[in-house]
Amino acid sequence: MSKFYNPKRSRNLFDPNSKEPYKISRSKIDLFLNCPRCFYLDRRLGVAQPPGFPFSLNAAVDRLLKKEFDIHRANKTAHPLMKTYGVDAIPMAHEKIEQWRDSLGGGISYFDEKTNFIITGGVDDVWINPKGELIIVDYKSTSKGEEVSIDADWQIGYKRQMEIYQWLFRKNDFKVSSVGYFVYCNGIADKEAFDAKLEFYIKLIPYKGDDSWVEGTILAARECLEADDLPESGNDCDFCKYREAAKEVEIE
C-alpha cells in the first residue's frame, strides 16, 4: 500500500481562484456526504485517506459478470437472470459502453455550469427496456450466511451510487428508468469441500432511485471547498476519530 499512497500530494487539488473546470468523481461526492473534513483535506489540501486493500475476488466477479452480460449484449438477448426476475430488458448495446464502465478513464461525465465541476462515474452495466428507458445496474459481491439485501444503514452509499449514475445519464439526455438493479453475488461458504471453485447465489435487487439530492449536494461540496477553514467532521468518521485520538496521545 505504501508504495502507491502519497500522503501529501500537490496534483488534482481544488483552487478556488481557478477558472478551469474541476473534475470530481462520484466517490468523492460520497466522501463529502460522509465527512466534509476528510473531503476538504483530500480535494483542497491534498491529504487523502489511506486507501483500503483491493478486493481482488470482487473485481474478478465484476469482470466475469461483464463478460457474461456482454455475450447477451452482442446477441441482443435477455440474460437468464432477467428472465428469472421478470425484468423486461436486454443489456444495452452502445458505442460508449466501455467508456461508461471505465471509472479510471472518466466513465460517464457531465459538466455542471453552476459549480464549474465535471462530475464523473463508472457504471457497471446499463440495460434497456422496450420503452427505451435505460436501467442502471450495479454489481455487488460478498459472502455471508444470511440473504443479501441493501437495507443496512451502511449501504446508503450503494443507493447514492445508483442515484448519481441515474442523474449522470439523465444529464446526458438519456431517458432513465427510476428503477435500477443490484446484481448481488453471495459466495457459498458452507459446501463440504472447496474443490478449487467458489460458487455463488445471485440475487437481483430492484431499487427505485431519487436523484433530487444530487445537485444541491454538488453545490454544497463546491461551497465546502471554497471555504478558508476546515469544516466539521462527519458524525461517525473513523478517520477523524483516529486522527484526534493519535493527536491526544502524541501531545501527552
For the chain, 252 residues long, the average pLDDT of each consecutive 10-residue run is: 71 95 96 97 94 77 94 97 96 96 91 97 97 97 89 92 98 98 90 79 95 98 97 92 90 66
Cβ–Cβ under 8 Å, residues 134 and 177: yes
Query: Is domain 22-251 classified as CATH 3.90.320?
Result: yes
Nearest to 130 by CA among 177, 200, 199: 177
**pTM confidence score:** 0.92
Question: What is d(CA 122, CA 184) in angstroms, rounded to the nearest whole number?
Answer: 18
Q: Could you tell me where the beta strands, DSSP code E, fall in the chain?
A: 22-25, 90-91, 108-112, 117-121, 125-128, 134-142, 179-187, 200-208
Own/partner pairs, 193-199, CB within 8 angstroms, 24+ separation: 198/57
Question: What is d(CA 247, CA 189) in angstroms, rounded to the nearest whole number?
Answer: 41
Would strands 22-25 and 117-121 be described as parallel, antiparallel, or unpaired?
A: parallel
Specify the pLDDT at position 9.
87
Backbone angles phi, psi at 40, to 5 degrees: -65, -45
Spans of all domains in the chain: 22-251
Strand order in the sheet with 108-112: 22-25, 117-121, 108-112
Cβ–Cβ under 8 Å, residues 249 and 38: no
**Given the C-alpha cell 467458489, which residue does it identify?**
198
